[in-house]
Structure 1
Amino acid sequence: MPMTVLTAAMTLLYPLAIWLGHGQVEPRWLAGLLLLAVATRLPALKLSGVARWSVAGGLVLVGCAIWSNLLLPLKLYPVLVSAALLAGFAWSLTTPMSAVERMARLRGEDFPPPAQAYMRSVTQVWCVFFVINGLIALATALWASEAVWSLYTGIISYALMAILFGAEYLVRMRFKRLHHV
């Protein structure tokens, strides 16, 4: 649990820290923040192939930032996170149980086929979100100021996720009412 809180805090604060450090601290030293963010993912390595790929990608970005002393590799981390989540959610669509259903089953519930189909659709919606979010994060990393990049990756993208969660919750309540699930 403490590592999960640290991972969430690092993920949320990372864009702000990069923005505040830009121009004050060399990128090769800011790479330590990314290294810390990657290190918080280490406990998940045994559980998830996505975690292994995201840690490997994060280490590549750390190495590039240290070697080049450029900020761009550090700004690509949110793109990597979206790509890793997309990979995990999309891969689950090739299996009998989607990512959303797998998360829902953590509560020990069993679901009828209509609910399973609904959760598969929700997983597809999240895949679309991760594609769009990753592309916007990439565009801001490549072509926007550090302030715009930080605003999008540190605030707007999380607000969009919250809106999607909220909208899905409302749709799910309606679905349950209509299908008596």
Structure 2
Amino acid sequence: MRLIFTALQGVGWLTTLAWPFLVWFSLTHPGYRALLPLLACLFLVRALACVGRREVMKGLTMGLALAGCLLSAASLLLGRAHLLLWYPVVVNVALLALFGGSLLTAMPLVERLARLRQPYLPPEAVRYTRRVTQVWCGFFMINGSVALATCLRGHLNEWTLWNGAISYLLMGILMGGEWLVRRRVQAAS
């Protein structure tokens, strides 16, 4: 049973990563509108894969999967394929709300994640995790704003380039850069 859930989780992540290209393909090839129910089903599978799992961001993962499912279904039922373009905006708004909302609590999200590996964090590490949470909020604001602009502009190739390549590249650079900075900070302590 665990193998099935792992496979479903993998399909879910692949769906998320491939989303911009699947959307581009379905919008540029009208004969392939049958992808819309498939996309809805893949997101539904991702939501179902979250049931019974324990993870820090389970609710977010399930909510985003259901949002993808609803956008796909609405696009199909309403005949408005452009609704598919809004998924990256929804993702960035949700992540900004999650990370930003955690800054209003005693323990920001990055600190909670860090404490899963290292329950005791010195005060300088706590300050560092708060700063990293703020950096991620800035990233989600900028990335979400550009994703919104690409939706409003309506140029499908620009939308696909940003949401399917550039944003992933920038996210990877941010993750890698943060990892390098964290190593230096830990070495200096």
The TM tier, using the shorter chain, reads 0.7 to 0.9
Per-residue CA shift, 1:15-39, capped at 9, x if unaligned? 1111122232368644324412243
Of the candidates 80, 94, 113, which is equivalent to residue 70 of structure 1?
80
Do residues 41 (structure 1) and 47 (structure 2) align? Answer: yes
Give the corresponding residue for 1:25.
30
Give the corresponding residue for 1:90.
100
Contact 2:64 2:91 in 1 (8 A): yes
What is the TM-score when the length of structure 2 is the normalising length? 0.82
Of the candidates 76, 79, 88, which is equivalent to residue 89 of structure 2?
79
Taking structure 1 as reference, are residues 76 and 68 closer, same or farther at Cα in structure 2, changes over 3 Å only?
Answer: same
Give the corresponding residue for 2:179.
169
Amino acid of the structure 2 residue aligned with 1:163: I
CA-atom RMSD in angstroms: 2.3
Give the corresponding residue for 1:141.
151
Per-residue CA shift, 1:4-58, capped at 9, x if unaligned? 3222211111111111222323686443244122431333366644345434533
Give the corresponding residue for 2:3.
none
What is the TM-score when the length of structure 1 is the normalising length? 0.85
Taking structure 1 as reference, are residues 76 and 34 closer, same or farther at Cα in structure 2, changes over 3 Å only?
Answer: farther
Q: Mind listing any 5+ residue stretches in structure 1 that lack a counterpart?
A: none
Which structure's relative contact order is higher, taking Cα pairs within 8 Å and 6+ residues apart? Answer: 1
Taking structure 1 as reference, are residues 56 and 11 closer, same or farther at Cα in structure 2, changes over 3 Å only?
Answer: closer
Q: CA deviation at 1:141?
A: 1.7
Cα distance in 2 between the residues matched to 1:138 and 1:42: 28
Cα distance in 2 between the residues matched to 1:56 and 1:9: 16
Contact 2:93 2:140 in 1 (8 A): yes
Taking structure 1 as reference, are residues 53 and 10 closer, same or farther at Cα in structure 2, changes over 3 Å only?
Answer: closer
Contact 1:26 1:69 in 2 (8 A): no
Number of residue pairs aligned between Structure 1 and Structure 2? 179
Structure 1, 84-93 or 112-121: larger mean CA deviation: 84-93
Give the corresponding residue for 2:14.
9
Of the candidates 98, 104, 108, which is equivalent to residue 114 of structure 2?
104
Aligned to 1:41, the other structure's residue is in SS state: helix
Per-residue CA shift, 1:65-101, capped at 9, x if unaligned? 1232122210101111111111111122122222112
Amino acid of the structure 2 residue aligned with 1:74: L
Per-residue CA shift, 1:125-169, capped at 9, x if unaligned? 101111111111111122142122111111110000011111112
Cα distance in 2 between the residues matched to 1:85 and 1:158: 15
Of the candidates 61, 71, 92, which is equivalent to residue 71 of structure 2?
61
Of the candidates 117, 136, 141, which is equivalent to residue 131 of structure 1?
141
